[in-house]
A = this chain, B = another copy of it.
Amino acid sequence: MRLSKRGEYGLRAMMRLAEDIQPGQPYPLMQIKEIAGRDKIPAKFLEQILLALKNAGLLHSKMGIGGGYYLGKPPEEITLGHIIRVLDGPLAPIRCVSQTAYEPCGCPDALTCGLRLVMSDVREAVAAILDHTSLADITNRVDGLRLSLGLGE
């Protein structure tokens, strides 16, 4: 029931790219190295992760001097569920209950398999959160918390 480092790093990087978006401005551009440095992520590992997110359309990039990565869509439209699926695969705890990567599990009667019933509930609950939380939701929540705690910046 665990999020991999790959997933964690990817989420942190995406949150980083979403965090100081200014209204009316183009999305901020950041280099791999910068994100890696700020979030203490091995740069070469992050490179692969960002590439995967780019291939999934969640990031765009600019090559060459002054290049870097930036969000591929408005932060309101990027859900954590999408990010995690790209990096770690299906949310379902067990394949036979996955909406996006179903596979039969071989239990004698799938319809009345107790394990499926519960794991399906779990999948549902997790997806309900992760597919309805966007990068924008996170920044809002964090900003709100910072304010209410009276922290600067």
Tell which of B117, B118, B138 touches A118, judged by Cβ atoms closer than 8 Å. Answer: B138
How many residues on A have C-beta within 8 angstroms of the other chain's C-beta atoms?
A: 42
Chain A contact residues, majority secondary structure: helix
Q: In the assembly, how many copies of this chain are there?
A: 2
Tell which of B8, B112, B141 touches A142, judged by Cβ atoms closer than 8 Å. Answer: B112
Contact partners of A129 in chain B: CB under 8 A: 118, 121-122, 125
Say whether A32 faces chain B, with CB atoms less than 8 Å apart: no
Contact partners of A141 in chain B: CB under 8 A: 114, 117
Say whether A111 faces chain B, with CB atoms less than 8 Å apart: yes
Contact partners of A142 in chain B: CB under 8 A: 112-114, 117
The segment out of A42-50, A59-67, A144-152 that lies at the interface is A144-152
Q: Which of A40-76 contact B (CB under 8 A)?
A: 40
Tell which of B90, B130, B149 touches A122, judged by Cβ atoms closer than 8 Å. Answer: B130
Name 13 extra pairs, CB < 8 A, besides A1-B88, A80-B118, A126-B126: A1-B1, A1-B3, A2-B94, A3-B94, A11-B115, A40-B106, A111-B149, A112-B149, A114-B142, A117-B142, A118-B129, A118-B130, A125-B128
Q: List 15 A-B contacts (CB under 8 A).
A: A1-B3, A2-B93, A2-B94, A8-B115, A15-B115, A111-B149, A112-B142, A112-B151, A113-B142, A114-B141, A114-B142, A118-B129, A118-B133, A122-B130, A125-B125
